[in-house]
Amino acid sequence: MNEASLIGLCAASVSFGALLYLAALGEMVSEKAGILNLGVEGMMAMGAVTGFMTALEFGNPWLALAVAVAAGALTALLHGWFTVVLGAEQVVSGLSLTILGLGLAAYLGKNAVGRPPGAVLAPVDWPVLSDIRWIGPVLFQQSPMVYLSVLVGVVVWFILSRTRTGLALRAAGESASTADAAGHSVVGLRLAAVAVGGGLAGASGAYLTLSLTPQWAEGITAGRGWIAVALVIFGAWKPGRVALGALLFGGTLALKTRLQTFGVDFSPILLSMLPYLLTIGVLVAISIRARNRPSPAPASLGIAYRREER
Amino acid sequence: MNRPVLVRREQVLRGGQPRSFAIGLVVALTIGIVLLLGAGHDPIAVYERMFVAALGDPDSWSVTLNRAVPLGLAGLAVAIAGSMGLWNIGAEGQILAGAMMAAGVARIGEGWPGPVLVTAILVGGVVGGSLWALGPAVARSQIGVNEILTTLMLNEVALRLVQWLIHGPWKDPDSFNFPLAPMIPDHGRLPVLFGRAHVGVLIALVVIILFAIAVNRTAWGFELRVAGSSGATARYAGLSLERKTATVLVMAGGVAGLAGGIELAGTADRLTEGISNGFGYAGIIVAALALMRPSGVAAVALLFGAVQIGGQSIQTMGVSSSVSTILQALILFGAIGAGVLSRYQIRLIPGDPGGDEAKAEAS
């Protein structure tokens, strides 16, 4: 193991971490408002394919990103319509959204498979900072999506914990009838949160096809949407902790392809179980602690709200 | 301005479920037409091919029935848990675990006589699936860990365990270094009924009927449904929920695991990472369309089997197989929408959306 490969590992952990972080932040916003969306994988695939195809067509990566965000949000709003407006089961609707999104993405992207990207989000070269030993290559030669994910993380944290809108949103997730009684539109808040969640999942997908692995192939999301769902739990619904978890889980993704170069005789496949096993561990720990203190999960998570039936 | 709201109907519309199901199908096929036209295909020809390939003659029926087996058992695995108000999202992982255990049995029992080996493989499947559900079952019943999330996470773990096995310890030495597990011995395969339909079809049907009777017609099933509709009532009636929760989840795992064993010995003939191919997730849709009733699972599974087999067949016409994936999801969305509308009706009430006026009226 030499210095260059170690730097490569750290840099890749950050890149993968940002990918997971974007999608997880979106899922967190949605869950904070009380809507569990298990469609992340599908929304990510929709963002990935629409972003890639927009780049093919127009050659502008930022337009591609915008389209991917819109596609993710629109896909998510299907879930929103069924779960928030009609009050359907969130688990079933979300899983169907994953199936639908993966199918639709495969269908839309049929002719884009194997084609070279029309545009990529090129890594940002920061003056001075990029040249710092270690820190430069790990933190300051990354795709713009990495910096964007940090920015989104701060914005989400600020809105959720420091603004009235955030308070209302959390109220919708903790106790919908209370939020309603306080004069907030629970349906509006929840729909908005679901759309934001989908938009961020779409952005995460676009990051994949415009920067991380600039190509489109069916199944390119490879279960990372599920890691994002796990990450929200692992991070106990807190943006900061989710960020740390994203680095850790991103690290396992980065390490997976590098184990052999490091001469470690351990199956990369077994390593890739780690995020899920850690999340199960955290779930168990949360439940054990919940005997003494409240669970960090939003209290109304997964429960439909119908004003007429409260 | 008038505001639309959902108001519960005094009476649920009669024939609600089959009807929502039909509406879902119509919605899905209609959107499918748009998709097919958009890709330059003749929708009628495509649908006709799908129908013929899935239900056109006894041979295609046999393939469709085979496909309905894992879908129905996975649906049952979700519905058993669902009738107690639990969410078993882990059928996918339980199928894989069942297939792994079954493949393990097939490795050990190569020298056993046919009937013994086949039985052992299927039992292995049940045991594997049950064991995979045991962790979430205990965690849920003893310390209240959310079973949706644990079973979901374990799906991904099971998939990687299968990948690890076929890339490593169980890789066939004769596979020219391809990650393939060896075929199971010929005498370990399920006997064939007709066409390509294997005896797993009968086994699955019997299991589904048994559970439908157990849930609908026995005291045990009644307690289950009481616990599902109201945990408080069940506790008041002195039912021990902890044990029931654990048993039900383990049973559900066993049923899904059986599907893994049947797939291994019936259609796949070797352990592959695609041996479940999303059956566990499709099973959740099947169970949801059957309203979590074990008795409804078989019919829905047959329909989904037909959609899947039909969807595979149109690939030869140059149509992406993703069309059938999309159709399956759309059937569900259409049915959910129709299901809600059979219980609720849309009324327009005066008032500004979210405005003070509407609030005053509602409260």
Closest CA to A121 of A66, A173, A176: A66
Residues A103, B323: C-beta atoms closer than 8 Å: yes
Radius of gyration of chain B (CA): 22
> Is 50 exceeded by the pLDDT of residue B20?
yes
If residue A16 lies in a helix (H) or strand (E), which one and from where to where? helix A3-32
Q: What's the pLDDT band for B356 if we cut at 50, 70, 90?
A: very low
Point out which residues pair with B344 in neighbouring strands.
B8
Mean pLDDT of B21-27: 84
Q: Helix, strand, coil: what percent of chain A each, to 5?
A: 70, 0, 30
CATH placement of domain A3-303 = 1.10.3470
Q: Between B224 and B266, where is the model more confident?
A: B266
For residue B18, the distance in angstroms to the closest alpha carbon of chain A comes to: 18
3-state secondary structure chain B: CEEEEEEECCCCCCCHHHHHHHHHHHHHHHHHHHHHHHCCCCHHHHHHHHHHHHHCCHHHHHHHHHHHHHHHHHHHHHHHHHCCCCCCCCHHHHHHHHHHHHHHHHHHHHHCCHHHHHHHHHHHHHHHHHHHHHHHHHHHHHHCCCHHHHHHHHHHHHHHHHHHHHHCCCCCCCCCCCCCCCCCCHHHCCCEEECCEECHHHHHHHHHHHHHHHHHHCHHHHHHHHHHHCHHHHHHCCCCHHHHHHHHHHHHHHHHHHHHHHHHHHHHCCCCCCCCCCHHHHHHHHHHHCCCCHHHHHHHHHHHHHHHHHHHHHHHHCCCCHHHHHHHHHHHHHHHHHHHHHHEEEEEEECCCCCHHHHHHHC
Q: What is the pLDDT of residues B292-332, one digit of tens each?
A: 889 889 999 999 999 999 988 888 888 888 888 898 899 88
Q: How many CB atoms lie within 10 A of CB B214?
A: 16
Q: What's the pLDDT band for A59 if we cut at 50, 70, 90?
A: very high
The two three-digit tokens of residue A279, written as one number: 């999340």
> CA B300: distance to chain centroid?
10
Share of chain B above pLDDT 90, in %: 53
Backbone angles phi, psi at B360, to 5 degrees: -60, -40
Chain B residue closest in CA terms to A229: B149
State how far the Cα of A232 lies from the Cα of A219, in Å rounded to an integer.
22
Facing residue for B326 by CB, picked from A107, A279, A308: A107
Give SS3 for A290.
coil
State how far the Cα of B207 lies from the Cα of B344, in Å rounded to an integer.
34
Residues A267, B168: C-beta atoms closer than 8 Å: yes
Q: What is the pLDDT of residues B38-48, one digit of tens each?
A: 888 999 999 99
Q: Does B247 touch chain A (CB under 8 A)?
A: no
Q: What is the pLDDT of residues A7-44, one digit of tens each?
A: 999 999 999 999 999 999 999 999 999 999 999 999 99
Point out which residues pair with B8 in neighbouring strands.
B344
**Measured torsion, CA atoms of residues B152, B155, B160, B166, in degrees rounded to the nearest 10:** 180
Domains, chain B: 1-41+331-363 (no CATH), 58-318 (1.10.3470)
Cβ neighbours of residue A138 under 8 Å, at least 6 residues apart?
A: A7, A10, A11, A14
Q: What is the pLDDT of residues B174-218, one digit of tens each?
A: 877 788 898 999 999 999 999 999 999 999 999 999 999 999 899
Please give the C-alpha separations between residue B281 and each of B73, B87, B200, B284, B328, in angstroms, as whole numbers.
Answer: 12, 12, 20, 5, 11
Chain A residue closest in CA terms to B28: A100
Question: B114-143 vs B241-263: helix axis angle to the nearest 10?
Answer: 150
State how far the Cα of A154 lies from the Cα of B131, in Å rounded to an integer.
42
Cβ neighbours of residue A193 under 8 Å, at least 6 residues apart?
A: A29, A30, A32, A33, A35, A169, A172
Residues B326, A100: C-beta atoms closer than 8 Å: yes
Long-range contacts of range A176-182, CB-CB < 8 Å, 24 or more positions apart?
Answer: A176/A34, A176/A300, A176/A303, A176/A305, A176/A310, A177/A305, A177/A307, A177/A310, A180/A305, A180/A307, A180/A310, A181/B363
Closest CA to B25 of B345, B363, B303, B352: B303
Share of chain A above pLDDT 70, in %: 99
- C-beta of residue B116 within 8 angstroms of C-beta of residue B123: no
State how far the Cα of A206 lies from the Cα of A217, in Å rounded to an integer.
13
Residues B89, A88: C-beta atoms closer than 8 Å: no
pLDDT of A153 reads 96
Q: What is the pLDDT of residues B122-177, one digit of tens each?
A: 999 999 999 999 999 999 998 888 898 899 999 999 999 999 999 988 988 887 77
Chain B residue closest in CA terms to A281: B150
pLDDT of A58 reads 95
Average pLDDT, chain A: 91
Give SS3 for A222.
coil
Facing residue for B288 by CB, picked from A38, A89, A267: A89
Q: What is the pLDDT of residues A120-160, one digit of tens each?
A: 898 888 888 888 888 888 888 899 999 999 999 999 999 99
Q: What is the pLDDT of residues B46-57, one digit of tens each?
A: 999 999 999 999
Q: Does B279 touch chain A (CB under 8 A)?
A: no
Task: Give the side-chain half-sphere CA count within 13 A for A80.
Answer: 25
Q: Does B153 touch chain A (CB under 8 A)?
A: yes
Dihedral-angle region of residue A258 (phi above 0 means left; psi in -120 to 50 means alpha; beta otherwise) = alpha
pTM value surpassing 0.80: yes
Give SS3 for A114.
coil
State how far the Cα of A280 lies from the Cα of A286, in Å rounded to an integer.
10
- C-beta of residue A70 within 8 angstroms of C-beta of residue A11: no
Q: What is the pLDDT of residues A234-264, one digit of tens each?
A: 899 999 999 999 999 999 889 888 887 777 7
Q: Does B288 touch chain A (CB under 8 A)?
A: yes
Amino acid at B119: T
Q: What's the pLDDT band for B351 if we cut at 50, 70, 90?
A: low
Q: Does B325 touch chain A (CB under 8 A)?
A: yes
The residue whose two tokens read 């093919």 is: A56
Q: Does B219 touch chain A (CB under 8 A)?
A: no
Point out which residues pair with B349 in neighbouring strands.
B3
Residues A276, B148: C-beta atoms closer than 8 Å: no
For chain A, the structural domain boundaries read: 3-303
> Is 60 exceeded by the pLDDT of residue B360?
no
B239, with CB counted inside 10 A (0-12, 13-18, 19+), is middle
Residues A287, B144: C-beta atoms closer than 8 Å: yes
State how far the Cα of A194 lies from the Cα of A76, in Å rounded to an integer.
6
Give SS3 for A185.
coil
Question: A90-108 vs A61-80: helix axis angle to the nearest 10?
Answer: 140
